[in-house]
Structure 1
Amino acid sequence: MHGDSRTIEQAAAAWLARRDGDRWNASDDAALARWLAADTAHRVAFLRLQAAWDESGRLQALGAGWEGHAPPARGHWQAPPANRREQMLQAMAQRPAMARPVRRRRATRFAAVAMVAGCALAAAWGWRSHAQVDAASYRSALGEVRTLPLADGSRAILASASGIDVRLSRNARDVDLTAGEAIFEVAKDKQRPFTVAADGYRAVAVGTRFSVRRDAADLRVVVTEGTVRLDAPPAGGIAQPSALLPAGSVALVRGGNLLVRSLPLAEAKQLLDWRDGLLAFRDAPLGEVAAEFNRYNARKLVVGDADAGALRIGGSFRWDNEEGFARLLEAGFPVRAEVGADRIVLHSR
């Protein structure tokens, strides 16, 4: 049975910590091999931790502070395996090569703060006058995740290369998703439903947390808290029924057809891990994985042939480390990466 990414990564860390000890034997080797073969995500998580272990020295994988020039000998660490596992996971989360912060210029950050503050002041005046509409447009650059407090107390989180137009008034809260994807954390206000429009569809909430994403041909709504009503546009002048989406729902509109899936809440939340710099996949073809990376990076991942594109990938990866992902594929899959300045071509081998 598939586990979530955190559980899998903890298990991978435990295996690596055990293997570093002096009691490892042939039966342990066989047990590790069975665990790696059970799920692609197991192998990916283990390879990722092992790469950090090898690149940084075992010390940096287990915790910082070693003043020597060489990593300590195998078996040096005497802490209980559970503690060592947690130290390694924390160090992995902090390693610059695996978790580079999103690059933002200071001037842009100050300008964004100033613009949000100005919008908040204008909104406050509007509420007092009971007449003014607070209208604003927001955009995010390629590779940028942008968090925006809205004047009604809600919050919007824009994914890479995304945009929204916001209109807030005394009676309505209307948002148009013009590009990309955004998460909305909606302040409760039963008198003013919060509506997000995209491709003729309207996602309506009162107080909840959900995301809306639009691609060239698809629309996706993910609900992680509360309930969202999804209204479809009329067809041939005839009104279409609405769909109620409780927490854990994933609605996909493709070719005019609506498909709604119900996922465990933890899995639904993983679809929104991009806000924390991660992309989570569960048995996804490499072609789909590459397309997701390309939403966030100027240097594109290109699938070189059909065999490479059909490989199934599972696990969580930093979206700002496409080259590290390519090297991971080379280490654990029949893939050869051709690294260039503006693209990385993935070939089967």
Structure 2
Amino acid sequence: MNNIRQFSSKEDIQEQACLWISRLDRGLNSDEKVALDVWLSESNAHRQALLDAASLWDDMSVLNELSGLFPQPTSRQRTKKGSMPKTAVWGIAATFLVMAIAVGVVVQRTWLNTPPELAAVSQKVQTGVGEQKNVTLADGSKLHLNTNSIVTVDFSSTGRNIVLLKGEAHFEVAHDKSRPFSVTAGNNTVTAVGTAFNMQYVDDNAFELVVTDGKVLVKDRFKASSNESLFTKRPVAEEGLLMFAGEKATVQGKVEARESMTQNDIDDDLAWQQGMIVFKGEPLEAVLAEIGRYTPVRFNVSDESLRKRRVAGYFKVGDIEGLLSALKNSFNIDYEKVTETSIELKIAKS
């Protein structure tokens, strides 16, 4: 028989304690309960490590499991001269575990209830086809998410970082100079403080940017830069490009097709927030591509000349019947419903 016993290091004990806590969290089987009892009886260090690990684990199922393993002793279990049996010791240990978990919960809840600008927040917001969402973020900024879109949010004490993975979003940024608000899309980032702007993917790495309030700094995210130029009058050619309220551009590495917009133009671009789409003479194929963002219905146009026909008007998001009626009555475009999700468009016969 080998009577030599190897002593575990402090790190090994802590690792074993964390392993036991994770097992307690998902529930112990009968063999594991016996093994845990043996492990705890081997050393005070084991018991202390378990309590320390439990204090960091915010899950009451762990407490419930330990309470079942180590119930509180009855008065009959007390021994002479004030000493207590092993079950009483476990009862005290369970009581301390309650306190440890309670302290951990209080600390965590207190941290979460700190002012929003100090809270670390990670979340994902997405919409399905035809769905829109308005979300107030932890710092008070407002996110308006259009159809079939995805963003991830990562707020820390030093920065507010958003990634637009898909679709279109409008941001109304809460003022906080100490934590720049940056949105990444494709190869670029748009950074703002106390500003509002709209971003919509038009290609895999290209997006359309409309600044509706304040100013933003557009940068190539693969180039090292600082935020200094955003808040000063220093040149930003090497940093990126400043865009101001009322400006629109396509961004794909470089800022292209930059133009000024009237307030009416901006309102038309953002009409989707009121459930409307505005067209001002775009070709029918472009109109159908935009409509297709809001519905699973697909349109087929075989006549090339019809594809180029100009369409203008206000259309309600998702109202396919209203669209078809307008196309027929105002633009001499007839239709045939091939299936529930497929429609053929053609020039109406005289």
What is the TM-score normalised by the length of structure 2? 0.60
Deviation at 1:124, TM superposition (A): 6.2
Structure 1 residues 187 and 326, CA gap change in structure 2 (3 angstroms):
same
Identify the residue that residue 317 of structure 1 maps to in structure 2: 315
Alignment of 1:193 with 2:191, yes or no, is no
2:94 aligned partner: none
1:302 deviates by: 2.9
**2:133 alignment partner in structure 1:** 146
For residue 137 of structure 1, the aligned residue among 124, 144, 159 is 124
Per the alignment, do residues 328 and 185 of structure 1 end up closer, same or farther by CA in structure 2, a change over 3 Å counting? same
Amino acid in the other structure paired with 2:198: S
Q: 1:347 to 1:245 in 2, by over 3 A?
A: same
Tell me, in whole angstroms, the C-alpha distance in 2 between the residues paired with 1:287 and 1:182.
23
Which residue matches 2:213? Answer: 225
The TM-score normalised by the length of structure 1 is 0.60
Partner AA of 1:317 in structure 2 = F
- Cα distance change, pair 187–129 in 1 and its aligned pair in 2 (3 A): closer
Give CA deviations for 1:70-91 in whole Å, capped at 9, x if unaligned: xxxxxxxxxxxxxxxxxxxxxx
**Aligned pairs for 1:256-275 within 5 A:** 258-275=256-273
CA-to-aligned-CA distance 1:7-61 (integer Å, 9 cap, x gap): xxxxxxxxxxxxxxxxxxxxxxxxxxxxxxxxxxxxxxxxxxxxxxxxxxxxxxx
Whether 2:180 is the aligned partner of 1:182: answer: no
The CA distance in 1 between the partners of 2:150 and 2:305, in whole Å, is: 35
Partner amino acid for 1:341?
A: E
Whole-angstrom CA distance in 2 between matches of 1:152 and 1:311: 46
Equivalent residue, structure 2, for 1:330: 328
**AA in 1 matched with 2:280:** R
Change (3 A) 1:283 1:140: same
Q: Partner letter of residue 188 of structure 2?
A: Y
One-letter code aligned to 1:319: V
Q: Which amino acid in structure 1 is aligned with residue 157 of structure 2?
A: R
Flag the 1:122–1:278 CA change in 2: closer, same or farther, 3 A. farther
Alignment of 1:46-57 (within 5 A): none
Equivalent residues in 2 for 1:1-349, closer than 5 Å: 125=112, 127=114, 133-217=120-204, 218-234=206-222, 241-253=239-251, 258-339=256-337, 340-349=339-348
Which structure has more relative contact order (CA 8 Å, sep 6+)? It is: 1
Asked if the contact 2:122–2:155 (Cα under 8 Å) also holds between the matched residues in 1, the reply is yes
Is the CA contact 1:126–1:133 (under 8 Å) kept in the aligned structure 2? no
Question: Cα distance 1:281–1:135, how it changes in 2: closer, same or farther (>3 A)?
Answer: same
Q: Percent identity?
A: 30
2:150–2:165 Cα contact (<8 Å) kept: yes
Q: CA deviation at 1:128?
A: 6.3
Unaligned runs of 5+ in 2: 1-107, 224-236
Alpha-carbon distance in structure 1 between the residues aligned to 2:116 and 2:284: 54
Q: 1:122 to 1:283 in 2, by over 3 A?
A: farther
Counterparts of 1:334 and 1:158, CA distance in 2: 34
Distance 1:229 1:183 in 2: 16
**Structure 1: runs of 5 or more not aligned:** 1-120
Secondary structure of the residue aligned to 2:294 is: coil
CA distance in 2, matches of 1:295, 1:219: 15
Note the alpha carbon deviations across 1:186-229, whole angstroms, 9 max, x for none.
11111111111000211111011111111334311111111111
